[in-house]
C-alpha cells in the first residue's frame, strides 16, 4: 500500500468512481478510517466545534489544529491527509496564505491544505499551488463566512446558481485539485461536477458529486441532538459509549471491577 495522491482522485473521476472523505482529529479514528479504505481524511477546522467545543469555526487557530493534523498523519498509511486552514490564516492575501500553507506542510506533514472561498480567494490558491502544495477549495456555504452569509443557508438556489458555478470554475482554474461543495442544490452540484475537470466533494450537495464528505462524529452518531438534513448516522456511538460508561461506573460501584484477572 502507498499513499493516495491527488492524481489518483483525478483518475477516479475519469473512471466515474465515487469516493468518500471523513474528518478526523486523532490517531484512533484516523487509523480506523484509514484501514476502512477512506482515501482522504480532512483535519477540518470543524475541530473548533467537534474537538474544542467552540460555537463556530472562527476561533480555532493553527496552533490548535496542527497537533491534530500531525496525529492523523502519523496514524495513517494510505489516506491523503488534508489540513484545513483556519479563519484568519489566509484571508490577507497570497503571501499570508502561502506562509500558512507552508507551515501546515512543514509542521504537520499533511499532504494538502484546504481553504474556504471561490473567486475572491483564487489568488491565494494560485500562490499555494504555485509553491507545490495541493489545495482543496470549498465553495457554496462556507462556515467561516457565516456572518456575511447570514447563517447556515443553502447557497446557489435559483438565480444565484451561477455564482456557485463561477466560484467552482475559478478555483479549478487557480489549480485546486478538488473542491468541496457545501449546502448547494443537487442540480447545481450536478452541473458543477459535470463541468469541472477536478473532483467535487459534496456535503449537503446531493448524490451527483464525485465524492461525499461528512464530519465523522455526525456520521457515527457521536454528536447527539438535531443534525442537519444532509447528515446520515451510520452508528449510534453516543449510545454505545454511554452504555459502556454506565456499566463501568456500575461495576466499580458494585465491586465487580476490577476482578481477579485484572489484578496483579
Ligand atoms: O471542517 C470541516 O469539517 C469541513 C468539511 C465539512 C468539508 O470543512
Ligand atoms: Na472546514
pLDDT tens for each residue of 37-54: 999 999 999 999 999 999
Specify whether 139 is located in the same domain as 249: no
Cα separation, 17 vs 99, in Å, equals: 34
Specify whether 250 is located in the same domain as 226: no
Q: Kindly report the backbone phi and psi dihedral angles of residue 47, in degrees, each rounded to the nearest multiple of 5, phi listed first.
A: -55, -30
Average pLDDT, the chain: 98
Please report which confidence band the pLDDT of residue 94 belongs to, taking 50, 70 and 90 as the band edges: very high
pTM value surpassing 0.95: yes
Specify whether 84 is located in the same domain as 116: yes
Specify whether 114 is located in the same domain as 224: yes
Q: How much is the pLDDT for 1?
A: 85
Please report which confidence band the pLDDT of residue 78 belongs to, taking 50, 70 and 90 as the band edges: very high
Position 1 in a domain: no
Specify whether 64 is located in the same domain as 107: yes
Cα separation, 205 vs 238, in Å, equals: 26
Specify whether 84 is located in the same domain as 54: yes
Among 22, 176, 215, which is best to mutate for testing ligand 1, by the most ligand atoms less than 8 A from CB? 215
Specify whether 133 is located in the same domain as 223: yes
> In which element (H, E) is residue 21 found?
strand 19-23
**42, 24 contact by CB (below 8 A):** yes
What does the pLDDT look like over 226-254, one tens digit per residue? Answer: 999 999 999 999 999 999 999 999 999 99
Structurally, the chain folds into a number of domains equal to 2
CA 212 to ligand 1 centroid distance, Å: 11
What does the pLDDT look like over 212-226, one tens digit per residue? Answer: 999 999 999 999 999
CA 171 to ligand 1 centroid distance, Å: 17
Instruction: Tell me the C-alpha to C-alpha distance, in Å, between residue 145 and each of 59, 142, 173.
Output: 12, 6, 22
**Active site residues per annotation:** 182
Q: Residue 13 sits in a domain of what CATH number? A: 3.20.20.60
Q: Does residue 92 register a pLDDT over 90? A: yes
Query: Which ranges of the chain would DSSP assign to H, the alpha helix?
Result: 6-15, 27-35, 47-50, 62-75, 94-108, 122-130, 146-149, 161-173, 186-195, 216-219, 237-253
Residue nearest to atom 8 of ligand 1 (CA): 44
Amino acid at each position: 500500500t502507498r499513499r493516495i495522491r491527488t492524481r489518483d482522485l483525478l483518475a477516479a473521476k475519469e473512471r466515474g468512481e465515487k469516493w468518500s472523505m471523513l474528518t478526523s482529529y486523532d490517531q484512533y479514528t484516523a487509523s480506523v478510517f484509514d484501514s476502512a479504505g477512506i482515501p482522504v481524511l480532512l483535519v477540518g477546522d470543524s475541530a473548533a466545534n467537534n474537538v474544542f467545543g467552540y460555537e463556530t469555526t472562527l476561533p480555532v487557530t493553527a496552533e490548535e489544529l496542527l497537533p491534530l493534523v500531525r496525529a492523523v498523519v502519523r496514524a495513517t498509511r494510505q489516506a491523503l491527509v488534508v489540513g484545513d486552514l483556519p479563519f484568519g490564516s489566509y484571508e490577507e492575501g497570497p503571501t499570508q496564505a502561502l506562509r500558512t500553507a507552508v507551515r501546515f506542510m512543514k509542521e504537520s506533514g499533511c499532504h494538502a491544505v484546504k481553504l474556504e472561498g471561490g473567486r475572491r480567494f483564487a489568488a491565494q490558491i494560485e500562490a499555494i499551488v504555485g509553491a507545490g502544495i495541493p489545495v482543496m477549495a470549498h465553495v457554496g456555504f462556507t462556515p467561516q463566512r457565516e456572518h456575511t452569509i447570514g447563517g447556515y443557508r443553502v447557497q446557489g438556489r435559483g438565480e444565484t446558481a451561477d455564482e456557485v458555478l463561477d466560484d467552482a470554475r475559478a478555483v479549478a482554474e487557480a489549480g485546486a485539485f478538488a473542491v468541496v461543495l457545501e449546502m448547494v442544490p443537487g442540480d447545481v452540484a450536478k452541473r458543477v461536477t459535470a463541468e469541472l475537470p477536478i473532483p467535487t466533494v459534496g456535503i449537503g450537495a446531493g448524490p451527483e458529486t464525485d465524492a461525499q464528505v461528512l464530519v465523522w462524529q455526525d456520521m457515527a452518531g457521536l454528536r447527539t441532538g438535531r443534525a442537519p438534513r444532509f447528515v446520515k448516522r451510520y452508528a449510534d456511538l453516543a449510545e454505545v459509549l454511554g452504555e459502556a460508561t454506565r456499566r463501568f461506573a456500575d461495576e466499580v460501584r458494585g465491586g465487580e471491577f476490577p476482578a481477579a484477572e485484572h489484578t496483579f
